[in-house]
Amino acid sequence: MIVMRSQEGLRRALADLSGTLGFVPTMGALHEGHLSLVTRARSENGGCAVSLFVNPLQFDDAADYEAYPDTEAADLGLLEAAGVDVVLVGNKDDLYPPGFATRVDLTGVTDGGEGGQRPGHFQGVCTVVAKLFGLFWPQRAYFGWKDMQQLCVIRRLVKDLSMPIELVPCEIVREADGLALSSRNRRLDASERAAAPRLYRGLCAARELWHGGERAAAALVQRVFEELGENFPGDYVEVRDTTDYALVHDPVEHGRIVAAARLGATRLLDNVSLS
């Protein structure tokens, strides 16, 4: 596995790979969710590349950025064991040198959801992803449904800018009790960790209602809030279209139920498919 710490030489390392390139952008602090994307990228392409970069542009909260876990040595061990060919360990001074002035901004699909809660977040995400796509120029890029709005936003970006990159959405990997794996889960204390699976339980309960014939979005949303209860405040619960992230109106016949909720200082995101 070749580990690059700057853009310099990256293209040469990639040029030595044969066949299609599958690319997995991450912010490190890797877990089985990330590794599921890597394994899939590995199996569907001749070469596999991963980026580890905590992108300052996408954090609206400096404390959240500072507190983001850094487990680089463990991450590199996991990627090597997974058979990754090339890793870029991103450095902000290298990727955003003095004079860097470009911002990539989308409208519509970034409204509401995480875009509504975290001003500037998707501008930061789109800027770094456009930059990483320019550096790696993969045939396929792998993203998790875990960040459903991000997936829809990047799909729009790739389409609008005519980038010849196939996006491959990957299903959410969970703990045995249903909690979606996330680098932020390690911030939960014991009682928060015990409460955290209520988010997925609520989403599953709403999906059960839907399977039973309920087609009113408000009833599905209400069911999730019931399961969360008072000590687990939801930022939002919505039914969203899987392609353009538009709100799905009654009668709800498709989409995913998406929720963000807070346990203490930690925000948890999750969603389930209505199918």
Are β-strands 86-89 and 47-52 bridged in parallel, bridged antiparallel, or unpaired?
A: parallel
For residue 148, which of 57, 46, 239 has the smallest C-alpha distance? Answer: 239
> Interface mask (CB under 6 A) for ligand AMP, residues 25-44, using x and -?
-xx-----xx-xx-------
164-193 residues in contact with ligand AMP (CB under 6 A) are 170, 172-173, 180-183
Whose structure tokens read 């998406």?
Answer: 258
The nearer residue to ligand AMP, 181 or 217, going by C-beta atoms, is 181
DSSP 79: H
Interacting residue with ligand AMP among 121, 131, 140, 146 (CB under 6 A): 146
The nearer residue to ligand AMP, 33 or 115, going by C-beta atoms, is 33
> Interface mask (CB under 6 A) for ligand AMP, residues 216-245, using x and -?
------------------------------
Catalytic residues: 34
Is residue 147 a contact residue for ligand AMP (CB under 6 A)? Answer: yes
Type of residue numbered 208: E
CB atoms within 10 A of CB 143: 21
Rounded Cα distance, 69 and 54, in Å: 9
Both structure tokens of 62: 């400096």
For 193, counting Cβ atoms within 10 Å of its Cβ (0-12 exposed, 13-18 middle, 19+ buried), the class is middle
> Interface mask (CB under 6 A) for ligand AMP, residues 103-142, using x and -?
----------------------------------------
The nearer residue to ligand AMP, 114 or 217, going by C-beta atoms, is 114
Is residue 51 a contact residue for ligand AMP (CB under 6 A)? Answer: no
Please give the helix or strand (H or E) that residue 260 lies within, else none. strand 256-263
Residues in touch with ligand AMP (CB under 6 A): 26-27, 33-34, 36-37, 143-144, 146-147, 170, 172-173, 180-183
